[in-house]
């Protein structure tokens, strides 16, 4: 098994070497956050303290809100690494105390859910921390060690089994399937169930299954609530929790002309297609499934997100649809330029809807197929 370089590593090292702020790395479980930090500690630290946040002795210290107790633990170290910090109550206050009162001590924090899921952001860290997201392996990262032929040759694997780092250790599809099933059963909901007040745990997976079938479509909270026999407000809360645990993300409708453009419902995509596919028990090859268009759209959505986030671009992302039926899969606004993208696995020579070009005269439009997708996502 080879090592896949993570694109945010140089940025994190630069922040730790040039500023006194904490570095907080978010991302789903099993995407390599701990591996990344353990690797970079070799470069930036002579004497790190590595804290596993599920050990009671550490939970007691960092949730004490007592600077003297915290100092008694971290004294003598040049770097502290808090792994899966969302498990520690009020960890944001402890980080604030360290940053404000212990200058010179580098702080690195990882979390498989946003800290506000655990702490309701009782003491915001804005101004005291740099925040980064680490995702399943991106095509941009693969391109550092593989050529385009090799990436294209493995495209079906990415669409079916996703991009969790450990997948590269398995040769057989059966082993990949078992690994994804393990994530589904052991890791996927762990933070949500531990940290949030969930009354209907079975509904959470039922909701995810419904969302998995609806990628690429606008999602009605009312319809989901009716199907699950829970309230619309509960559905919305569960989706928010799934977002904070980096399982799904939303895209809103784009509009500057509210009378004819649809904006009320969001589209929801998965951070990893392997997770999406194992949730609906469908890991069949692309030749034997009827949802290739949905897989392609989700794949491009999340890979574009990885690429833009890792390259630190400022942008806004949407979909676009009118009440008369004209639509564009993905609309991106960057540096004042509006670009529309239509996703087709096989190129169809798709043209921009006339309504879009008329309404947004200076916009651009592109069709993204398997012939040109690497230019879009890597």
List of domains in the chain: 9-133 (3.40.50.300), 139-310 (1.10.10.10)
Residue 318's SS3 state is: strand
Q: Residues 19-40: pLDDT tens digits?
A: 999 999 999 999 999 999 999 9
Sign of the Cα torsion 274, 278, 284, 287 reads negative
pLDDT value of residue 119: 55
Kindly state the percentage of the chain with pLDDT values over 90. Answer: 82
Residue 365's SS3 state is: strand
Q: Work out the pLDDT band at 121, boundaries 50, 70, 90.
A: very low
Kindly state the percentage of the chain with pLDDT values over 70. Answer: 97
User: Residue 120 and residue 116: Cα distance in Å, rounded?
Assistant: 4
User: Residue 245 and residue 191: Cα distance in Å, rounded?
Assistant: 7
Count Cα neighbours of 31 within 13 Å in the Cβ-side half-sphere: 29
**Least confident stretch, 64-78, 193-207, 309-323, 331-345:** 193-207
pLDDT value of residue 184: 94
pLDDT value of residue 256: 85
Specify whether the CB–CB gap between 303 and 336 falls below 8 A: no
Q: Residues 76-102: pLDDT tens digits?
A: 999 999 999 988 988 889 999 999 999
Q: What is the mean pLDDT of residues 269-282?
A: 97
Give the predicted TM-score (pTM) of the model: 0.94
How far CA 14 is from CA of 132, 135, 367, 368, in Å, comes to 13, 20, 37, 34
How far CA 4 is from CA of 57, 116, 196, in Å, comes to 34, 30, 34
pLDDT value of residue 120: 45
Q: Residues 297-331: pLDDT tens digits?
A: 999 999 999 999 999 999 999 999 999 889 999 99
Count Cα neighbours of 59 within 13 Å in the Cβ-side half-sphere: 9
Q: What is the mean pLDDT of residues 103-128?
A: 78
């Amino acid at each position: 098994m080879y090592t896949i370089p993570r694109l945010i590593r140089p940025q994190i090292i630069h922040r730790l070497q040039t500023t006194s702020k904490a570095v907080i790395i978010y991302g789903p479980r099993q995407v390599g956050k701990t591996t990344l930090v353990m690797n970079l500690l070799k470069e930036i630290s002579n004497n790190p303290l590595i804290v596993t946040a599920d050990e009671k002795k550490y939970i007691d210290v960092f949730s004490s809100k007592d600077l003297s107790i915290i100092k008694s633990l971290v004294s003598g170290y040049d770097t502290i690494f808090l792994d899966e910090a969302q498990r520690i109550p009020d960890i944001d206050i402890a980080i604030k105390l360290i940053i404000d009162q212990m200058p010179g001590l580098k702080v690195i924090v990882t979390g498989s859910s946003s800290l506000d899921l655990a702490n309701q952001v009782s003491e915001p860290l804005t101004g005291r921390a740099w925040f980064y997201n680490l995702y399943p392996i991106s095509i941009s990262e693969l391109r550092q060690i593989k050529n385009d032929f090799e990436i294209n040759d493995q495209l079906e694997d990415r669409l079916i089994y996703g991009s969790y780092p450990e997948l590269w250790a398995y040769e057989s599809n059966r082993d990949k399937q078992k690994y994804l099933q393990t994530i589904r059963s052991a890791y996927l909901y762990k933070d949500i169930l531990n940290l949030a007040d969930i009354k209907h745990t079975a509904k959470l997976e039922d909701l995810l299954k419904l969302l998995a079938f609806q990628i690429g479509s606008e999602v009605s909270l009312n319809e989901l609530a009716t199907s699950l026999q829970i309230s619309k407000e509960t559905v919305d809360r569960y989706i928010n929790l799934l977002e904070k645990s980096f399982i799904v993300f939303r895209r809103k409708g784009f509009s500057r002309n509210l009378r004819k453009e649809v904006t009320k419902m969001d589209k929801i995509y998965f951070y990893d297609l392997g997770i999406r596919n194992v949730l609906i028990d469908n890991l069949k090859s692309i030749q034997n499934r009827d949802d290739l268009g949905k897989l392609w759209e989700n794949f491009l959505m999340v890979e574009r997100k990885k690429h833009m986030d890792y390259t630190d671009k400022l942008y806004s992302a949407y979909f676009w649809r009118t009440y008369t039926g004209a639509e564009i899969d993905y609309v991106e606004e960057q540096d004042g330029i509006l670009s529309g993208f239509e996703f087709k696995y096989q190129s169809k020579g798709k043209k921009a809807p006339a309504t879009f070009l008329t309404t947004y005269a200076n916009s651009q439009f592109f069709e993204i197929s398997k012939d040109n997708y690497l230019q879009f996502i890597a």
